[in-house]
Amino acid sequence: MRSLLNFLLRYKTLILFLILEAVALVMISSSHNYHQTVLYGAARNISGFFARGLEKSTSYFRLRQVNDELVAENLELKRRLEAAASVPKETFVEVSDTVSGINYTYLNARVINNSVNKQKNFFTLDMGSRHGVSNGMGVASQAGVVGVVVGVSRNYSVAMSLLNTEFRLSASIARNDYFGSLAWDGLNYRYARLSEIPHHVAANEGDTIVTSGYSEIFPAGIMVGVLSGEQRRGGDFVTLKVLLSADFKKLTNVYLIGNLTKDERNNLETGVVR
Amino acid sequence: MNGILRYSVGFFILIVLQLLIFNNIEFSGYINPYIYVMFILILPVAIPSWVLLLLSFMTGFVIDLFSGTMGVHAFATVMAGFVRPWALSLNISAEAAEPEMSPSSYRNGLRWFLIYTIAVVMVHHLALFFVEHFSFRSFGHTLLRVILSTAATTFFIVLFDFIRSRR
């Protein structure tokens, strides 16, 4: 007993060091659900407050770029409106249910904190549960897909960036609809990898990559990026390098995409596929 | 008492600088200065090693809390706190080692402070970047990040130390 005590006293620094490192490692390994912890929720509200102040003062310098984006988007929406108006009516019944036929809802949010330099990047949005944001909503900028919401507090929400090595997106080649899994390899923030594409699929440099619509998060056809031409063959599939269309270093205005019929779809899928 | 207050203020300033300014700095995805490590560097020479470890853990934990990286910074700072006594003894001159003294370039000479800072910061950044990446894949890429960021962090810490000493 005495020698044990002596031992502990003698190596108290080393023992404390090992204990603290073990605590840190446990914290890291359980970080998958850290978004739910109360402590982190409180810290997020405080840091969100500061980040919003900082963003307010720096956003002024990006006004021109934001304006250009909005003009481009307006133009695109006008074109779609035109196309929709010219479709001949097929029904004679007027439906007053405004939710009928709508699958996705969109919210407009502002990025108030962002990073591209880590392996697991997240960004903070200035909208929370108070504004109708919930976990699992997709986030896209005017240029393309940027992430998915993983944590919500009352006034803020945190989204896992596409630039997070844990992020997976079902994406397809727009030209021929072959789909694969898109993920970031943690190296260059401009590029991601589209894997699980079969060998026989013709994929050329410059082909557009869009969301496949197979997940319940993003509707089909949202821009993701273009093929850079570089590819790696191995096994049964080809991995393609994708130049992301969204520039994560200047994210400002983004859209939150909510799926209104998500629960219905989930229930059906889990009910049938056991 | 006065000393504790002074270190608390230093701690607060470094954490705020890190979170509001330095977390937003990165050049070409390689250089991320983590200047808050300076708090571990400037604690008194004679601080008991277990207090040093606990303070290191606390520093990393606070950074983790505000940047949403649970445990990653805490792991790295405890590592830094563990090697600090060894880095201190690298080549400190005996007459300079007053127990209450805070290590600085002003009292110990720039060359010594530089070596001391690089040693501790390098260990911290090695632990931080590799734990963050959580694999030894793309080893060279991560190592390059460590080396470049260590240079940047050291530069800022020496700069702040200079400002601190002039006052």
* pLDDT of A261: 82
Least confident of A77-81, A172-176, A261-265: A77-81
* DSSP SS3 for B74: helix
HSE of A144, CA atoms in CB hemisphere, 13 A: 20
Q: How far apart are CA B117 and CA B76, in angstroms?
A: 15
Is residue A167 in some structural domain?
Answer: yes
What the block records as the tokens of A37 is: 């912890």
Centre a 10 Å sphere on the Cβ of residue A40 and count the other Cβ atoms it contains. Answer: 21
The DSSP-derived string for A20-62 is HHHHHHHHHHTGGGGGG-HHHHHHHHHHHHHHHHHHHHHHGGG
Determine whether the interchain pair B29/A46 forms a contact, defined as Cβ–Cβ distance below 8 Å.
Answer: no
What the block records as the tokens of A76 is: 């695109």
Nearest CA-CA partner of B129 in B11, B5, B31: B31
* pLDDT of A78: 74
**A177 and A240 fall within a common domain:** yes
Centre a 10 Å sphere on the Cβ of residue A18 and count the other Cβ atoms it contains. Answer: 13
Is residue A221 in some structural domain?
Answer: yes
* pLDDT of B59: 94
- Indicate the domain borders of chain B: 2-166
In the DSSP assignment, the letter for residue A94 is P
Domain B2-166, CATH number (from 1.10.1760, 3.40.50, 1.10.3470, 1.20.5): 1.10.1760
The model's pTM: 0.60
Determine whether the interchain pair B78/A24 forms a contact, defined as Cβ–Cβ distance below 8 Å.
Answer: yes
CB-based burial label for A12 (10 Å; 0-12, 13-18, 19+): middle
Is residue A74 in some structural domain?
Answer: yes
* pLDDT of A33: 53
Nearest CA of chain B to the CA of A22: how many Å? 8
In the DSSP assignment, the letter for residue B102 is P
Q: How far apart are CA A152 and CA A196, in angstroms?
A: 32
Centre a 10 Å sphere on the Cβ of residue B94 and count the other Cβ atoms it contains. Answer: 5
User: How many domains does the structure of chain A reveal?
Assistant: 2
Least confident of A24-33, A211-220, A230-239, B72-81: A24-33
CB-based burial label for A210 (10 Å; 0-12, 13-18, 19+): buried
- Which tens digit of pLDDT belongs to each residue from A136-170? 899 998 888 999 999 898 889 999 999 998 899 99
Determine whether the interchain pair A47/B66 forms a contact, defined as Cβ–Cβ distance below 8 Å.
Answer: yes
- Contact list in A for residue B70 (CB cut-off 8 A) is 27-28, 30-31, 34, 40
* DSSP SS3 for A256: strand
- Contact list in A for residue B86 (CB cut-off 8 A) is none
**A10 and A129 fall within a common domain:** no
Is residue A88 in some structural domain?
Answer: no
Is residue A267 in some structural domain?
Answer: no
- The residue count of chain A comes to 274
Q: How far apart are CA A163 and CA A231, in angstroms?
A: 20
- Which tens digit of pLDDT belongs to each residue from A115-143? 888 888 899 998 888 888 988 899 998 88
Is residue A89 in some structural domain?
Answer: no
- Which domain does A50 fall in, by range? 45-83+105-260
The percent of residues above 70 in pLDDT, for chain A, comes to 87
* pLDDT of B98: 65
User: Which domain CATH number covers A126?
Assistant: 2.40.10.340
Q: How far apart are CA A189 and CA A248, in angstroms?
A: 7
**A176 and A144 fall within a common domain:** yes
Chain B (80-99) residues lying within 8 Å, Cβ to Cβ, of chain A = 82
Q: How far is residue B130 from each of residues B29, B102, B124, B138, measured CA to CA in Å?
A: 15, 30, 10, 10
Per-residue pLDDT band for A245 (boundaries 50, 70, 90) equals: very high
What the block records as the tokens of B62 is: 């606070």
- Report residue A115: phi and psi, to 5°: -145, 150
At position A97, the amino acid (one-letter code) is D
Per-residue pLDDT band for A34 (boundaries 50, 70, 90) equals: very low
Do residues A165 and B138 touch, judged by C-beta distance below 8 A? no
Cα R_g (chain B), whole angstroms:
15
Determine whether the interchain pair B74/A27 forms a contact, defined as Cβ–Cβ distance below 8 Å.
Answer: yes
Where would I find the beta strands (DSSP E) of A60-144? 104-113, 120-125, 138-141
Is residue A270 in some structural domain?
Answer: no
Q: How far apart are CA B118 and CA B126, in angstroms?
A: 12
Flag whether residue A40 sits within 8 Å of chain B, measured between CB atoms: yes
Hey, CA dihedral for B143, B147, B152, B153, is it positive or negative? positive
Which of B58, B78, B79 to substitute to test the interface with A, most A CBs within 10 Å?
Answer: B78
Which of A118, A153, A160, A244 to substitute to test the interface with B, most B CBs within 10 Å?
Answer: A118
**A208 and A251 fall within a common domain:** yes
**A71 and A17 fall within a common domain:** no
The percent of residues above 90 in pLDDT, for chain A, comes to 19
Per-residue pLDDT band for A231 (boundaries 50, 70, 90) equals: confident
Least confident of A91-100, A104-113, A181-190, A261-270: A91-100
Average pLDDT over residues A73-77: 81
Residues of chain B short of pLDDT 70, as ranges, are 1, 26-29, 91-99, 134-137, 167
What the block records as the tokens of A71 is: 């003009």
Between A86 and B133, where is the model more confident?
B133
**A55 and A76 fall within a common domain:** yes
**A149 and A18 fall within a common domain:** no
Is residue A272 in some structural domain?
Answer: no
Average pLDDT over residues A18-22: 91
* pLDDT of A40: 64
